[in-house]
Amino acid sequence: VRDPRSLHTSSPLMSQALSSCLQDDEDEDEYVAQIANSHLSEILNDDVYAISMEDSSWPSLDDELGETSIWDAPLDDETAVAERRKLAQRQQAPKRSAIEMLLNFDLESPPQTDDLEEMELWLECEAQRESVRRYQKVIESARDRRDYASLTVVQKQIVQWYPKLKEAIGEEQQAYITKSKAKRDMNRYGPFLCSLQPQKLAVIVSHESIMHTLQRGGNGVTLVSLALRIGGAVEAEVKVQRALQQRLEESSLRNKEPELNIEDLLDENESNEITADTSEIADQFSEGEGEDAGTTSFGSWMYGPSHLQQFIDEAHSLDPSKKTRIRINYAKRRAQWILKSDEEWTKPDKLKLGILLIEVLLKTATIQHKGRQEKAFSHEKRYFPKQKCVGKIFLHDALYKMVTEHTFESLEGHTTRYKPMIVPPRDWVAPNDGGYSWLKTDLMRTHGSKMQTEALNQADLSTVFDGLNVLGSVPWAINEFVLDVAQRCWRDNIPLGDIPSRTDHILPQKPILPKRDTQNLDPDSPAFKAANAEFRAFKEALSRYHRIKQKNMDLQSLRCSVMLKLDQAEKFKEFEQIYFPYNMDFRGRAYPVPPHLSNVGSDLCRGMLRFAEAKPLGSRGLYWLKVHLANLAGNDKLTFHGRAAFTEENMENVRAAVSDPFGPNRWWMTLDDPFQGLATCQEIVNAIDSGDPESYMCSLPVHMDGSCNGLQHYAALGRDTVGGKAVNLCDADTPQDVYIGVMHEVIRRVTEEAAIDLDFEGVDPDELSASEREALKHNRAAKLVNGLIDRGVVKRTVMTSVYGVTYIGARKQIQEKIEEKLEEKGYDIDEMASEIHAACGYLASTTMDVMGELFQGARQTMTWLATCARLIAQLDQPVAWMSPIGVPVVQPYRQSKPFTILTLLQSVVLLDTSDDLPLHKSRQATAFPPNYVHSLDSSHMLLTALEMDRRGLTFSAVHDSFWTHACDIDEMNEALRDVFVELYEQPLLETLKKTWELRYPSITFPDLPERGDLDLKEVQSAPYFFQ
């Protein structure tokens, strides 16, 4: 197990200079030191405080030792003696409580213990407090020594902005209390603004703004989203301060002890160092010396009223008139109500507070660029079709480039509260009880639907809990070989897979709008036509400029994403085991909670992960490794033997990938999934070179994926023999490829269209009829894409058609592939963007038409589901159902209600989507078929997880991609087929209809679609059902 003390100091991502300066920083400015409590509300489990105040000592030795005690072992047993010594040390050093851990949290000093549970608690504290805690440490050091060279880019900017930002926020707070100046909405946002100290607010607004804009890349963030995020962070901080104080008071009453304050949890020396009376603080604050001249009580930092009292006392001393006292007392009551109320802040309140803080940030935060100070953030209004305008906040390009071109430490510490765990997650036992040790995690992402939450609380979720617990209990580890390769790709600017280029596209000059004076020109004159041609050229150039600019913005977002993934892998690479707690979406689909690094992530994430447990390959393990590599290379439509042969034919390339990944032979980089392919190459070579492949200990997950899994579920529901054969539900010697079948029919239709020669050359398009223009459009589109269509072009559209993909979505999917192929042929896709757009629209329509004709059984079932949903929605009821494993699903789609709010920067429109609003009836109907199928595939996956656990086998999954050790693939294949057959032997559609008929007796639902004669038992012998 990794030594916790080396967690940061040994990492290349941690600034050594920063560590050294922090060690010397003993006398901290306490106005800065207490910032550490930010961002803690609603993250701790409900019982944390109560538990932390109970006796938290270690269990007795008898409890730990069980029946067989090492104390009975002879004295010459060295192992037993060592264990005795370790247990004695643990008995003498009780665990710290939750509150003690939080209050005494030190980012640079992980607990010096081998206890992984305590280390996990420290990591969860770190997830919330590392960013703010780091600022509190570096501000004092940087200010005293004027040394910013040792800081990361993000830290440096926060530190530089902090003094002016804190001062400006303090002035806004005083302005509200004393009414020294009038400002729009001051009475609305003022009490919320005064609920926290300016020091904390300065850190919250700067941290949230820079990290939110960084993560969105150059696209900027909407003003509304950033303001709500900042307002929510302030609300969270207020709540946690109140919760801490309340828990301490409750604990003191329960234990019949004198009332506790939070400084009682500190050691005596620390408490003495940071205690002073309130009057001294008020004096220091009013004189503008609070930051440097003294210290404050810990209680004043933990609970807002003492901070508010500073303003009250100062205002009374400056102007004791009756009118002032009345005004101040009103402000005091408003602010104290906010501090003590359990009610959630409304969206308008958070919005107005957030925008006020953003306004202050825009005025104070600057960056040194080209020898002058420029604003670090900018506020712009962007106009879009069907919308008046959207306000956006942009980060200065120079600052963004500094961060992304810096080392990972620029983002290290600013990632997410939810990270991988180093101990198994807590078992789910209730909808809000499970997962992380301290951090709050909900079982379901309900989209704020109260109906969904109520249904969840009343349902029997035992099967769901068991399935998620099985998935979360799988131990993982970082594949350091793949991590090192990925880090070099990033460092050396080698774009590969998920790793984008670090070089922007060349952005042309923004074209200048030409002068158009055509009012007095004859429309048939050459001058008029020349002016129109010039304007069209301008529009095309402007469109090209914006497309390239958008590509650069997308690159920036991708770079940020990769940096976060690599940072997480680097941070956890030395732990022998890490875990991913799971929860689910409203349809019951399971997902790991950590957002950046998990097995549900991209090829890069999956390649960097392996099972922590290794198992001997056995007689068939090496064979499945070879099949797995062929799948990752895109050869997944060969027979299994053909795939193994493919790998054997490429053994020279496989060995070159492992011995020198960046050598002249870079075959592995051409694979569909290069990083997973590289990990597989390493295992194959190591197994062969071991001399005994069957005994080789392999920890690589091997996947078996469903064959267009959505269509498989539809075919099973309707017992569709034709559709079942097309998606491998039936026994066959070779795998059937539904995508190839669609591709051939699409190619046939496009070829026929392209062969037609339309005699419209030299004819003005305006003189053609509507039907002639449409025919010409299709003909030109067919000619452009003819010869470019392959399996990959239609695959995503076919795969997502059963999940409700729209025409627009299909066109975008196809356009990505067509543009890649045209670029390979040397075309300038920016110059011919309009032609490509039209051609891909034609191709999307053709593909969807072919799908509807080939899979009529699935189409009939989809139509029945959508019709029933539409009938339910007409009663103003959301479509709801129970999944086969007991998940109550309530579709959350409602008409959003816009309302306008005037703010300091602009008027904004908010959308209310509460359960009280009218249903979005069309979306309730169109979304139901894909949502219902998702609830079925999630049931199949979780039931398979339970069956694999019953058999004692490791199992993980990404929806319809099931993973286990190479040696256990054959048994997993058997288990997943048995579970699928058992699932669909139930009368699922019949049960669904009966449930609805009982609930909605006024509706006459249509008859079920006629079933086919597919024999489900055949699935158990279908070799390519999952492959």
Active-site amino acid positions: 705, 795, 960
Nearest to 678 by CA among 640, 629, 627, 617: 629
**Cβ distance 356 to 189 under 8 Å?**
yes
The neighbouring-strand residues paired with 899 are 910
C-alpha separations of 359 from 200, 362, 878, 904, 907 in Å: 17, 5, 40, 8, 14
Phi/psi of residue 395, nearest 5 degrees: -85, 140
Alpha-carbon gap, residue 29 to 292, rounded angstroms = 7
Q: Give the H or E element holding residue 962.
A: strand 961-965
Angle 345-350-351 from CA coordinates, rounded to 5°: 145
Other CB atoms within 10 A of residue 416 CB = 15
Helix axes 304-318, 278-286, angle to 10 degrees: 60
- 259: burial class by Cβ within 10 Å (0-12, 13-18, 19+)? exposed
Output the six-digit token pair for 95.
């665990």
Nearest to 234 by CA among 104, 335, 111: 335
The neighbouring-strand residues paired with 610 are 477
- At 199, which amino acid appears? Q
Alpha-carbon gap, residue 856 to 721, rounded angstroms = 11
Annotate 294-350 with DSSP letters as a single string. ----HHHHHSHHHHHHHHHHHHHHH---HHHHHHHHHHHHHHHHHHH--SPPPHHHH
Angle 725-731-735 from CA coordinates, rounded to 5°: 65
**Cβ distance 578 to 475 under 8 Å?**
yes
Nearest to 559 by CA among 633, 612, 489: 489
Q: Give the H or E element holding residue 377.
A: strand 377-382
Alpha-carbon gap, residue 391 to 265, rounded angstroms = 46
Alpha-carbon gap, residue 756 to 779, rounded angstroms = 7
Q: Is 909 helix (H, G, I), strand (E, B) or coil?
A: strand
**Cβ distance 889 to 883 under 8 Å?**
yes
Total residues belonging to the chain: 1027
3-state helix, strand, coil in the chain (%, to 5): 55, 10, 35
Question: In the β-sheet with 377-382, what is the strand arrangement from edge to edge?
Answer: 221-222, 390-395, 377-382
Side-chain-side CA neighbours of residue 327 (13 Å): 17
Annotate 503-517 with DSSP letters as a single string. SPPPPPPPPPPPP--
How large is the C-alpha radius of gyration of the chain? Answer: 32
Other CB atoms within 10 A of residue 421 CB = 26
Helix axes 807-824, 791-801, angle to 10 degrees: 170
Helix axes 462-472, 921-950, angle to 10 degrees: 60
Alpha-carbon gap, residue 538 to 544, rounded angstroms = 10
DSSP 1011: P
Task: Characterize 80-93 residue by residue with b for buried, 16 or more Cβ atoms within 10 angstroms of its Cβ, and e for exposed.
Answer: beeebeebeebeee
